[in-house]
């Protein structure tokens, strides 16, 4: 997180704010791209939005490869981008059991960077 002191130092200076903020977000993204964490995080976010009164959520997202690690932190398997949707669908299916009126849409960006085969 960015501390209050850090915010005061960069207030009104966008570049001083965004450079360290982006670095922190990118470190977080490494965690969120772990299969079991992504599944739990997706379920958590869906439930949180629902508790806050939203029953339709639209996400704008990049499609990421997801990774699995062993207990020593070594990569065991890297899943292709299709796993992102599959794992999210699993989390969504779990939440919908409790909240059948919940619906989700995705607006993916970056699809033009993929080949036709990857977009399937």
Measured CA to CA, the distance from residue 70 to residue 67 in angstroms comes to 10
pTM of the predicted model, to two decimals? Answer: 0.69
Question: For residues 42 and 48, what is the distance between their CA atoms, to the nearest angstrom?
Answer: 10
pLDDT of residue 11: 72
- Parallel, antiparallel, or unpaired for β 56-61 and 103-108? parallel
What is the domain partition of the chain in residue ranges?
1-32, 33-119
Beta bridge pairs of residue 107: 60
d(Cα 89, Cα 75) in Å, to the nearest integer? 23
Give, rounded to a whole angstrom, the gap between the first and last alpha carbons of the chain: 37
Handedness of CA 16, 17, 18, 24 (dihedral sign): positive
Q: What is the pLDDT of residue 27?
A: 77
What pLDDT, on the 0 to 100 scale, is given for residue 98? Answer: 97
The stretches in the chain having pLDDT less than 50 are none
Residue 105 and residue 59 in contact, taking contact as beta carbons nearer than 8 Å:
yes
d(CA 8, CA 15): 14
């Amino acid at each position: 997180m960015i501390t209050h002191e850090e915010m005061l130092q960069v207030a009104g200076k966008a570049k001083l704010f965004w450079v360290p903020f982006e670095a922190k977000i990118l470190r977080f993204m490494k965690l969120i791209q772990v299969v079991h964490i992504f599944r739990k995080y997706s379920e958590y976010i869906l439930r949180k939005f629902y508790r806050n009164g939203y029953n339709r959520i639209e996400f704008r997202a990049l499609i990421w490869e997801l990774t699995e690690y062993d207990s020593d932190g070594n990569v065991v398997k890297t899943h292709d981008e299709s796993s992102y949707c599959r794992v999210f669908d699993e989390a969504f299916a779990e939440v919908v059991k409790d909240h059948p009126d919940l619906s989700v849409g995705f607006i993916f960006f970056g699809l033009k960077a993929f080949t036709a085969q990857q977009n399937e």
